[in-house]
Amino acid sequence: MTTATVKDLYPTRGTAEVTVPRQDPVVWGAPDTPGPITTADLQRYERDGFLAVDQLITPDEVGIYKRELDRLVSDPEVRADERSIVEPKSKEIRSVFEVHRISEVFANLVRDPRVVGRARQILGSDVYVHQSRINVKPGFGASGFYWHSDFETWHAEDGLPHMRTVSVSIALTENLDTNGGLMIMPGSHRTFLGCAGATPKDNYKKSLQMQDAGTPSDEALTALASEHGIRLFTGKAGSATWFDCNCMHGSGDNITPYPRSNVFIVFNSVENTAVEPFAAPVRRPEFIGARDFTPVR
């Protein structure tokens, strides 16, 4: 299937910035669909675009996943792999992609009913992993992620047609209000912001270190923040934040001594599989935007 056979509901990367009302549901599953999310929490997710869970995994499990994260980022072979993204200044590993494929420990986390069950409940179908990664923000200078909508990139550069994708960020260290935590504009998921400027070839090589193409203007961000406000997420290790693919979100630098590490999993509906990119010359590599649509079992 190509983009020629799929209507582009969300134009982006043109000559000017545009806003488009959301054309897709937020919660695709029926309200009474069985699963770990309560009806009240599903309603909050639909309204705000996110759902915080105080303890998704136990302290013992946190230890298992944290040890695996430490093993991966200290492995020279992993560091040399193209799936590892290195901080421009410190040269420390910032992210490792496709961790559910290179680590059976994280593959088990993806299959955990507490994790994939919530994704199926929100998206109303079987799901596959569009992207997985570990994010590492060591203390004293790890850089943040500038404001963006994930869907804008996944639509433009990976070819996801609809907003039927959900992310979960699971804290493996305590997320404080000072160490570069996740920020989301509640309700921003109901408006698509199409960014100005064409997508360079192999944009991912630069954007994974510092966002450029797909970056909203200061004026657009000011308008969204004025309308929706900004929510900062904190929580103990083992807590998690689920958020819609179109939420405007970002995180600041970590200049504290306290590291912030998370595992990040993106689930997409098997009924929303990727086509050709809508606004990029070529697809991103499969370790960033999957082309294997096998359901998680």
| Interval 199-217 mean pLDDT | 75
pLDDT of residue 208: 61
Q: Is the pLDDT of residue 209 over 60?
A: no
Identify the weakest region by mean pLDDT among 2-11, 77-86, 118-127, 201-210.
Answer: 201-210
Q: Rounded to 5 degrees, what angle do the CA atoms 215, 220, 221 make?
A: 75
Which tokens is 200 given?
């360079």
pLDDT digits (tens, 9 = 90+) for 215-256: 999 999 999 999 999 999 999 999 999 999 999 999 999 999
pLDDT digits (tens, 9 = 90+) for 18-60: 999 999 999 999 888 889 999 999 999 999 999 999 999 999 9
pLDDT of residue 284: 95
**pLDDT higher at 237 or 93:** 237
CB crowding 153-175: b at 16 or more within 10 Å, else e:
bbbbbbbbbbbbbbbbbbbbbbb
- Whether 147 and 221 have beta carbons less than 8 Å apart is answered as yes
Q: Is the pLDDT of residue 141 over 90?
A: no
